Amino acid sequence: MKPSLNLNENLLDKSKSYLVAVSYGPDSMALLFSLIHRGYRVEVAHVNYHQRDVSDYEQAQLEQVCLQHDIALHILDVQTKPKGNFQDQARTIRYDFFKQVAVENQLNAILTAHHADDDLETATMQLKRQSLHDYYGIRPQSDWQGTPVIRPLLQTFKSTILEFCNEMKIGFSLDASNEKPIYTRNKIRLSLSGLSENEKQIQLKDIQQRNLTLEKKMVEVAALSVRKRMTLTQYLTLDPTSQFLFWLSKSKREGIHFPITQAFLQKIQTVCSSKKPNVRVALVKGWWFEKAYVDGWVITKAWLKPYRIHTKDSAVNLPLIQFDFKFMPKEFQDCIVRAARGQDQIQIKDYKKTFRRLAIDWKIPLFLREIWPVVTNTQGKILTIPRYQKKLANQANNWFEIVE
């Protein structure tokens, strides 16, 4: 009976085609042969950085393997050493290449040979750094710029992989630099090497429990991140991890990317606790967080465009973040709705008030003041300015209903 790896086939589909990332190390070679023996349709991608004396030998051996099994092989020849952090730059180079090959050849996903030891090393490194994460270890599935990445060997330890390669007489090459304590990961790998598989399993179960806790917290904060407006008192009750997950969920929902660091969370905490009624914090270009009295908002400049709508020609459902303004009486069916100006005035009993003053009285957030609607007749005479808060609108006869 031939030995087999604990390949997570729940992640795979034999009706699909995959690109297998193969370095000619034991992990990726074991994955490749296991897929071949189980009848999966695969192509292979290999990156030669020319950083070791055996780099060309490994490429030549892999070429022979793919030729023998009639498997398409895609090679990226990197002649120039990546600048800066070699590991980070090399990772970007190879994953960009994998994505390009997968897309050009209509392959469904990229498969990598990360295993249980890699998973534990990554989680241990994250915990030692005490950094913020929404997941500890390596995810079984992720994506690289929209292309799926699947890791079917995460339930298999390195010792089992080596045993599989030896029993199946699979050729491979070991990278000696992986054992040198020159990188943080290598140091952690060496520190974990003395543990038995049972001891590693116990640690992995602890990591799994941490991830379940994070998943539960993410579900809780995701409900808060749906709305553009958040109540500051509610946000301030969240623990630091939940605050991190809130911003992660918010950034994904809005499609913005910025570093959610400890320093950033502390800055937001300070702003939310500030006695100042209006404070802005830049997130990325064109996006900011705004404290407005008792609420917080994540805003983009793209929402704050001027407008002028003739109600006779189009419905007045203004793109004002989360508000729609619906006309009530027939008298306002032929008028103009435009963004308010600071000097706009409305009559209140026997005196007039400017919009600038009203905005302060009503505690309208600064960004909404830029696009708050004013209703005029077709000649430009101001008919009304709707109140900001729904409870105020209900009390006032301003002919508008503000629907949140």
pLDDT tens per residue across span 70-87: 999 999 999 887 776 778
Domain assignment of residue 60, yes or no: yes
Domain assignment of residue 212, yes or no: no
Range of the domain at 375: 304-403
Does 318 lie in the same domain as 283?
no
Does 292 lie in the same domain as 313?
no
Does 295 lie in the same domain as 229?
yes
Task: Single out the residue of 147, 152, 114 nearest to residue 38, CA to CA.
Answer: 152
Does 380 lie in the same domain as 332?
yes
Please count the structural domains in the chain: 3
Task: Single out the residue of 195, 117, 104, 196 nearest to residue 151, CA to CA.
Answer: 117
Comparing 319 with 299, the larger pLDDT belongs to: 299
Domain assignment of residue 200, yes or no: no
pLDDT band at residue 177 under the 50/70/90 scheme: low
Give the mean model confidence (pLDDT) for residues 256-272.
94
Among the residue ranges 2-16, 305-319, 358-372, the one predicted with the least confidence is 305-319
End position of a domain, from candidates 194, 210, 243: 194
The pLDDT assigned to 82 comes to 72
Number of neighbouring beta carbons within 10 Å of residue 35:
21
Which residues touch 15 (CB under 8 Å, ≥6 apart)? Answer: none
The pLDDT assigned to 350 comes to 81
Does 363 lie in the same domain as 257?
no
The pLDDT assigned to 122 comes to 94
Does 279 lie in the same domain as 308?
no
Does 114 lie in the same domain as 83?
yes
The pLDDT assigned to 343 comes to 94
Q: Which residue has the tokens 């990229």?
A: 110
Does 282 lie in the same domain as 242?
yes
Q: String of b and e for 269-287 (b: at least 16 CB within 10 Å)?
A: eebbeeeeeeeeeebeeeb
Number of neighbouring beta carbons within 10 Å of residue 338:
17
Domain assignment of residue 375, yes or no: yes
pLDDT band at residue 392 under the 50/70/90 scheme: low
Does 32 lie in the same domain as 160?
yes
Structural tokens at position 141: 């599935």
Which residues touch 94 (CB under 8 Å, ≥6 apart)? Answer: 21, 47, 76
Does 20 lie in the same domain as 125?
yes
- Sign of the Cα torsion 324, 325, 328, 331 reads negative
Distance CA 128, CA 184 (A): 10
Domain assignment of residue 82, yes or no: yes
∠ CA 155-211-250, nearest 5°, is 125
The pLDDT assigned to 176 comes to 64
∠ CA 393-399-402, nearest 5°, is 45
Domain assignment of residue 1, yes or no: no
